Amino acid sequence: MSNTHWSQNGLTRRGALAGLAATTAMAGLPRAARAQSDVTLRWWSPQGAPAQVEAYNQQIASFEAANPGIKVVFETTSDEGYAAQLAAAFSSGEVPDVVTHLPSFSIHTYYAAGLVAPMNDVIEAIGPANFYDGANDVYVAADGNYVATGIGNVAANMLWLRTDLMQEAGIDKHPTTWDELRAACQAMQKNGIYGAPLPYGRNGMTTRIFVGVIHQAGGSVFTPDLEVAIDSQATRDALEWYKSMRELCPPGATNYSWGEAITAFVSGATATGIYTGRVLGNVAAQNPGIADHITCTRYPTLSADIKPWTFNAFPSVFIPAQSKNVEAAKKFALHLFEPEGMIRQLHAAPGHLLPVLKTISANPMYQDNPIIQKYEAEVDLMAAAAADGHNLGYETKAHKSNDLAGDVEGTMAISDMVQRVVLNDEDPDVVIGETAKIIEGVMKG
């Protein structure tokens, strides 16, 4: 895999560089030369729910009105498919001009291949002091440049709970350990309702959730110096617990990704959930009967002495270096942070994406939302969890930034490991060892 230009879910560094040379010259044209004709910017994002697209269209309209001669076209990608779509775009040179809502570690991989323009000037224009402290640390590349900036924070693995079902089952506190969670799920699994909607599919959700489970067992995928550390007792404990939870999940969990997992909880098919704050808006729209009976907490850990670990993908804004309209693209990226449009975008999925700017959080317009007001405690908890969150490219504050994390995820080695041990009942020691070798191969190039 590491000797080809293509990974299973996208383009490797070596292959990405091959598609770069033909079009980068255009990005260096003087601003005046590019301004002689109309410009059309292509904006890609995997966040394409109807309410969000409506908010984006309003942001586009206000930008176009203020910038005659520049048009913006929004195009939806997918959470599971964006890597392959971008790989094809980078290879052909027909790239989008602005990309939003991708995880930070993916952009590090692209930047290391020379495919992303630095965003230092955009961050300066927004005002570094307006961001929450450390909000952009995750985007710092080895050369000191910022590869992107955040468009929101997200707490991807919050534990969602049905308080009415907890009360019926005699559960009087939120689970904080795996044993407590499993016992709670067992107690609530009845009358056609399953305990949990954990993902077991061969996909990005299983990979990202299970990275969190490894940390919740006290382990990590890499050491702080980026040596492969997945072959550990913590990973064995994580797999054992994840396997024990399979009987408490719906039969379809074998193929669950993000959409299926959220639907299971929102529809009432499961007593607990694992997802971001999008649960709040979906419940309000699709199953308001349970709206007064849901809450969230940070996902439990193996034992009380292990600190919770929240997966924050750090949804981002970045500019492909091959764009023929880099200056116009950066102007549009800056426009996305204008308060009225940004707040409208955040309100399109209240609690799902959380502000990265202190000025937005403090804005009365942001607070003036019925869902954010109704679930103030849950939104505050998610904001705190996300601000302290990490991901495969930024596992802890002690870890070096891993610009190959996107390539590691693209192999699907971690979700394969879950399927082989949990679903196929293969020997964990053998599977973990083989998984470690796959990851080592990616890291060695």
List the Cα angle 371/376/377 in 5-degree steps: 135
Q: What's the rounded mean pLDDT across residues 257-270?
A: 97
Sign for the CA dihedral angle at 340, 57, 86, 77 comes to: positive
92 Cβ contact partners less than 8 Å away, ≥ 6 residues apart: 19
pLDDT in tens, 52-69: 999 999 999 999 999 999
Instruction: Tell me what the pLDDT averaged over the chain comes to.
Output: 91
Q: What's the rounded mean pLDDT across residues 291-303?
A: 98
Distance CA(390)–CA(220), nearest Å, equals 11
Statement to judge: residues 170 and 267 lie in one domain: yes
| Predicted confidence band of residue 20 (pLDDT cuts 50, 70, 90) | very low
Statement to judge: residues 274 and 416 lie in one domain: yes
Classify residue 191 as left (phi > 0), alpha (psi -120 to 50) or beta.
left
Statement to judge: residues 320 and 279 lie in one domain: no
Statement to judge: residues 164 and 15 lie in one domain: no
Identify the pLDDT of residue 23: 29
> Does a structural domain hold residue 219?
yes
> Does a structural domain hold residue 402?
no
Q: What's the rounded mean pLDDT across residues 90-100?
A: 96
Its pTM stands at: 0.85
- Cβ atoms of 76 and 105 within 8 Å: the answer is no
> Does a structural domain hold residue 394?
no
| Predicted confidence band of residue 80 (pLDDT cuts 50, 70, 90) | confident
> Does a structural domain hold residue 392?
no
Statement to judge: residues 230 and 370 lie in one domain: no
> Does a structural domain hold residue 30?
yes
Q: What's the rounded mean pLDDT across residues 280-307?
A: 98
- CB environment 348-357: b (16+ within 10 A), e (fewer): bbbbbbbbbb
Residues in the chain: 445
Written as one letter, the residue type at 376 is E
| Predicted confidence band of residue 18 (pLDDT cuts 50, 70, 90) | very low
Distance CA(151)–CA(174), nearest Å, equals 31
Distance CA(364)–CA(4), nearest Å, equals 52
Number of domains, the chain: 2
- Cβ atoms of 293 and 162 within 8 Å: the answer is yes
CATH number (domain holding residue 420): 3.40.190.10
Identify the pLDDT of residue 82: 83
Statement to judge: residues 320 and 305 lie in one domain: no
* Neighbouring C-beta atoms of residue 199, cutoff 10 Å: 26
Residue 372 has pLDDT above 60, yes or no: yes
Statement to judge: residues 128 and 12 lie in one domain: yes
Residue 36 has pLDDT above 60, yes or no: no
Residue 445 has pLDDT above 90, yes or no: no
Residue whose token pair is 């590491």 = 2
pLDDT above 70 covers what percent of the chain?
92
Statement to judge: residues 233 and 300 lie in one domain: yes
pLDDT in tens, 419-430: 999 999 999 999
Q: How many helices (H) and strands (E) does the chain have?
A: 22, 11
Lowest mean pLDDT among 15-24, 36-45, 122-131, 356-365: 15-24
| Predicted confidence band of residue 37 (pLDDT cuts 50, 70, 90) | low
Q: Which helix (H) or strand (E) holds 6?
A: strand 6-7
pLDDT in tens, 218-253: 999 999 999 999 999 999 999 999 999 999 999 999
253 or 103: which leads in pLDDT = 253
Distance CA(139)–CA(150), nearest Å, equals 8
Q: Which helix (H) or strand (E) holds 206?
A: helix 204-216
> Does a structural domain hold residue 359?
yes
Domain, as residue range, for 167: 158-311+411-444
> Does a structural domain hold residue 396?
no
| Predicted confidence band of residue 81 (pLDDT cuts 50, 70, 90) | confident
Statement to judge: residues 173 and 258 lie in one domain: yes
Residue whose token pair is 């080695």 = 413
**Helix, coil or strand: residue 272:** strand
> Does a structural domain hold residue 400?
no
Statement to judge: residues 334 and 344 lie in one domain: yes
Identify the pLDDT of residue 231: 98
Q: What's the rounded mean pLDDT across residues 307-333?
A: 96
Distance CA(352)–CA(350), nearest Å, equals 6
| Predicted confidence band of residue 83 (pLDDT cuts 50, 70, 90) | confident
| Predicted confidence band of residue 32 (pLDDT cuts 50, 70, 90) | very low
- CB environment 212-231: b (16+ within 10 A), e (fewer): bbbbbbbbbbbeeebebbbb
Distance CA(122)–CA(84), nearest Å, equals 27
Classify residue 327 as left (phi > 0), alpha (psi -120 to 50) or beta.
alpha
Helix orientation angle between 50-66 and 326-335, rounded to the nearest 10 degrees: 120
Distance CA(289)–CA(284), nearest Å, equals 8
Q: Which helix (H) or strand (E) holds 82?
A: helix 82-92
Q: What's the rounded mean pLDDT across residues 121-131?
A: 96
Lowest mean pLDDT among 55-59, 132-136, 438-442: 132-136
Which token pair is 414? Answer: 């971690």
Statement to judge: residues 183 and 136 lie in one domain: no
Q: What's the rounded mean pLDDT across residues 185-195?
A: 97
Statement to judge: residues 85 and 204 lie in one domain: no
